[in-house]
Amino acid sequence: MTQSLSLSTLARLPSSIRPHYDPAALRAGIVHIGTGAFHRAHQAVYTEEALAAEYGDWGIIGASLRQPGVSEMLRAQDGLYGVLTKSAAGSSVRVVGCVRDVIHAPSDPQRLPALIASPQIRLVSLTVTEKGYGLDPATHSLDFSRPNIAQDLRAPHLPASTIGTLFAGLHGRRLAHGRPLTVLCCDNLQHNGKLLKRLVLAYAEQVDAATARWIQAHVAFPDTMVDRIVPATTPATLDEVEERLGLRDDAAVWGEPFMQWVIEDAFAAERPRWEAGGAQLVADVKPYEDMKLRLLNSSNSLLAYLGYLGGCDYVYQAIALPRFARLVRRFMQEEAAPTLSMPPDQDLAAYQERLIERFGNTALPHRCHQIAMDGSQKLPPRFLAIVRDNLAAGRPVRLSALAVAAWMRYVGGTDENGQAIQVQDPLARQLQAAAQGNASDIVDRLLSMRSIFGEDLPRSERLRSELVAALERLQQAGSRATVLEYAAA
């Protein structure tokens, strides 16, 4: 049987693909919450590059807030794992050494706050997905009615939620030594740093006003834009990594060659030299984050819902159909781009064409079903922000409405062949119940869900009629024929 990747087998690998330092000797400076595939293929890779360029105490202690699987898997391999980079041009693998430990927070609720409080930690980063923050997407504020938030407020020293955990760590830090800290939100949310700061402060004010004031003064929450397509690992990924390493690696991840990380240069304390891996430190992340959310993520979701309904398992299959490619281009040019002020170093046309190419990466199949999940959390930053801007400016919202209508059709839970769709969403049950019947009833019921559409959008007659028209076409003609019509007209 093939041996597993671990500190004791690492030396067998060629030096070009293993860490340029001794992982066993690396001390931690970062706590990362949510050690899923994206973090391992993105921020951890940048940290690896930073360490190669300038060694320092920047090991990462990962924490998972939910299942113990990832922590067990990584611990069994001493935190080591491979990153397989794949495109039509070829593939390569490297082993990342900077994840030094991974804990399962629910097994010991005081451990993660204690780590956040420890003086050697100078950075806490997070990838807990859009739904992981206890956010009310419509109001951008903390949803105190969420059971885990309400429970944490009753027992703040034994937190279970992301915000409760951060607060407990920051509170402990203030009491223990008060050294400053940077908290880096790396999820696809608008103004993610400012948003996270608001959520943490809202919670802190309920528990301890002195800690809330301390957080204001000593904790920085820079905005970030993160980008790399990282589909869920499959058995084939693991087999390919095993073949290349000659070692079994159950924690391997895979991703595309493209990577981008834009970070607001507003840290409270030191940080790794992430620029060495190509990270951009800028004064204002907003133009980058709008560009990414409104061009990449929205097109990705548009392809996921319409592609899934049209019988495509993967995004590359949908974008290979000329009508889908035409629709995505039109959506980007006519509805997304007019709402953007592009960053000065980015070219709109080149960025859009690069996206079409990235979506078409056949070497890295990305499931429509994976992207389609959690739509109730993803629609507001991906489409509804565009819709609001375009409604206010009197511009068209027809293609955005088609994407939202495709989501409405999808959450009904039955595909075009009458097969069940496994809808994954925190609101799945309500969505599925609301999405039955004729198009105008479905639109009215879903549009009235304030946590998704807010108070304003249900009042827009223009949006409503575009949604009803698109949903009717999807119901009557199916996704492929509807895409053809919308791409042409």
Q: 264: part of which helix (H) or strand (E)?
A: strand 260-264
Q: How far apart are alpha carbons 107 and 128 in whole angstroms?
A: 18
- Residue 426 bridge partners (DSSP): none
Residue 482 within binding range of ligand CS2, rule CB under 6 A: no
Dig out the tokens for 341 from the structure: 């002020």
Residue 299 within binding range of ligand CS2, rule CB under 6 A: no
Minimal distance, residue 371 CB to ligand CS2, in Å: 4
Q: Nearest-5° angle of CA 451, CA 455, CA 457?
A: 95
Measured from each CB, the residue nearest to ligand CS2 is 300
Dig out the tokens for 201 from the structure: 């402060």
Count of CB atoms within 10 A of residue 90's CB? 9
Residue 430 within binding range of ligand CS2, rule CB under 6 A: no
- Give yes or no for a contact between 252 and 233, defined as CB atoms under 8 angstroms apart: yes
Binding mask 372-401 for ligand CS2 (x = CB under 6 A): ------x-----------------------
Minimal distance, residue 189 CB to ligand CS2, in Å: 11
Q: Which residues contact 469 (CB under 8 A, 6 or more apart)?
A: 401
Q: Which residues contact 405 (CB under 8 A, 6 or more apart)?
A: 443, 467, 470, 471, 474
Nearer to ligand CS2, 165 or 301 (CB): 301
- Give yes or no for a contact between 83 and 255, defined as CB atoms under 8 angstroms apart: yes
Nearer to ligand CS2, 78 or 425 (CB): 425
Residue 228 within binding range of ligand CS2, rule CB under 6 A: yes
- Count residues contacting ligand CS2 (CB under 6 A)? 9
Nearer to ligand CS2, 61 or 285 (CB): 285
Nearest 5°: phi and psi at 55?
A: -70, 145
Nearer to ligand CS2, 280 or 475 (CB): 280
Q: Residue 30 region, left (φ>0) first, then alpha (ψ -120 to 50), else beta?
A: beta
Q: How far apart are alpha carbons 400 and 390 in whole angstroms?
A: 10
Nearer to ligand CS2, 323 or 358 (CB): 358
Output the CA torsion 427→140→43→72 (10° steps). -40
Q: How far apart are alpha carbons 239 and 248 in whole angstroms?
A: 8
Q: 166: part of which helix (H) or strand (E)?
A: helix 162-176
- The closest of 479, 483, 294, 487 to 383, measured between CA atoms, is 294
Count of CB atoms within 10 A of residue 400's CB? 30
Minimal distance, residue 315 CB to ligand CS2, in Å: 9
Minimal distance, residue 229 CB to ligand CS2, in Å: 5
Nearer to ligand CS2, 81 or 305 (CB): 305
- Stretch near ligand CS2 under the rule CB under 6 A, chosen from 55-63, 227-235, 393-401, 435-443: 227-235
Question: Given candidates 297, 333, 414, 460, which one binds ligand CS2 under the rule CB under 6 A?
Answer: 297
Nearer to ligand CS2, 300 or 482 (CB): 300
Query: According to CB under 6 A, which residues from 407 to 426 bind ligand CS2?
Result: none
Q: How far apart are alpha carbons 123 and 141 in whole angstroms?
A: 24
Dig out the tokens for 65 from the structure: 């807030």
Binding mask 245-284 for ligand CS2 (x = CB under 6 A): ----------------------------------------
How far is CA 95 from each of CA 42, 228, 284, rounded to the nearest angstrom? 13, 18, 33
Nearer to ligand CS2, 188 or 237 (CB): 188
Q: Which residues contact 345 (CB under 8 A, 6 or more apart)?
A: none
Query: According to CB under 6 A, which residues from 348 to 377 bind ligand CS2?
Result: 370-371
- Stretch near ligand CS2 under the rule CB under 6 A, chosen from 98-106, 133-141, 224-232, 269-277: 224-232
Question: Given candidates 227, 242, 264, 389, which one binds ligand CS2 under the rule CB under 6 A?
Answer: 227
- Residue 86 bridge partners (DSSP): 91
Nearer to ligand CS2, 2 or 370 (CB): 370
Nearer to ligand CS2, 300 or 361 (CB): 300
Question: Given candidates 9, 300, 317, 390, which one binds ligand CS2 under the rule CB under 6 A?
Answer: 300
Minimal distance, residue 151 CB to ligand CS2, in Å: 28
Nearer to ligand CS2, 215 or 315 (CB): 315
SS3 428: helix
Query: According to CB under 6 A, which residues from 159 to 198 bind ligand CS2?
Result: 188
Minimal distance, residue 313 CB to ligand CS2, in Å: 15
SS3 306: helix
Nearer to ligand CS2, 48 or 227 (CB): 227
Residue 229 within binding range of ligand CS2, rule CB under 6 A: yes
* Residues lying near ligand CS2 in the complex (CB under 6 A): 188, 227-229, 297, 300, 370-371, 378
